[in-house]
Amino acid sequence: MRSGSINVAGIDLEIADGGIGSPLLMLHGASGFECRHPINALMSKHRRLICPSHPGFGKSALPDWLDSVDDIAHVYLELLDKLDLSTVDLIGCSIGGWIAAEMATKAPERFTKLLFVGPVGVKTGSPDQLDMPDVFAVSPIDLNGLLFRDPAKMVPDPAALGDDELAIVVRNRETLALLAWEPYMHNPKLNHRLHRISAPTLFLRGDCDGLISEKYLQAYAALVPKARTATIKNAGHVPHLEQPEEFAAAAIEFLSN
């Protein structure tokens, strides 16, 4: 994939673009986007894959006025205008799923298929309890256990990372806290907007996901018309990274059907 930068709404966004076929916008989770992930090569064999780094993540700028997922949704709708894309398929992973949901409620006519992977963004349980573990309150080791079925295979050794890579890891976490600290991992208004989504929608989770429970996923999907759920086996919160071949096959089947 080709990596570069594009200015949208006065924000310099890092963006990768490559592959063939109809356009597919894929929005990353809190760990950010990396071109070297195998899922990108697998998906770009079938579709033109467009992957921006969210404002404040990776090498994308973070303006003073941007402090919510809702803001990012507006930025990405403008990104579609800038790329001259009237309609696209959309995949959103974790917080990227939240962004995707906000986008699809604002401009439902622009999305032909939606795939939410371990998404956050809504409140489905009782007001006095969190719907998912507090990622800011657990140790890094415990967090890795929630995110991955096999952390030993997925978590890079910090000692092997360069200074620039370590700075991005810290920056991604800081921006996640800015966007999702309070209210924790959701927009109270989104529940009441999801009925506007008109595209066929698939909610997907790894069967070993320690953050997004099956109960939460089912409740989230029940708020969206034309939605169904599915599971990727032997994967945690990031099935597209832990089981890229299985994820790509399921995603392409859904998007192409």
The ranges assigned to domains in the chain are 2-256
* Strand pairing class (23-27; 48-52): parallel
CATH fold label, 2-256: Rossmann fold (3.40.50)
- What integer is the mean pLDDT of 213-238? 97
Say whether the peptide bond before residue 38 is cis (omega within 30 degrees of 0).
Answer: no
Nearest to 223 by CA among 254, 177, 191: 191
Return the ∠ at Cα 30 (arms to 121 and 163), rounded to 5°: 160
Q: What is the pLDDT of residue 45?
A: 95
Calpha distance 148→235 (Å, rounded):
7
Over 90: is that where the pLDDT of 33 sits? no
In the chain, the percentage of residues whose pLDDT exceeds 70 is 100
Tokens of 176: 């996640």
Averaged pLDDT score across all residues of the chain: 96
Q: What is the pLDDT of residue 235?
A: 97
Task: Kindly indicate the confidence band of residue 34, based on its pLDDT and cuts at 50, 70 and 90.
Answer: confident
Calpha distance 169→156 (Å, rounded):
11
- Give the position of tokens 């890092």: 14
* Strand pairing class (48-52; 11-19): antiparallel
Calpha distance 117→98 (Å, rounded):
10
Start-to-end Cα distance in the chain: 25
* pLDDT tens string 67-101: 999 999 999 999 999 999 999 999 999 999 999 99
Q: What is the pLDDT of residue 241?
A: 95
In the chain, the percentage of residues whose pLDDT exceeds 90 is 91
* Strand pairing class (88-93; 23-27): parallel
* Strand pairing class (11-19; 2-8): antiparallel
Q: What is the pLDDT of residue 145?
A: 95
Task: Kindly indicate the confidence band of residue 35, based on its pLDDT and cuts at 50, 70 and 90.
Answer: confident
- What integer is the mean pLDDT of 237-243? 96
Return the ∠ at Cα 161 (arms to 5 and 13), rounded to 5°: 15
Q: Report yes or no: 86 and 109 within 8 Å, Cβ to Cβ.
A: no
Task: Kindly indicate the confidence band of residue 29, based on its pLDDT and cuts at 50, 70 and 90.
Answer: very high
Over 90: is that where the pLDDT of 126 sits? yes
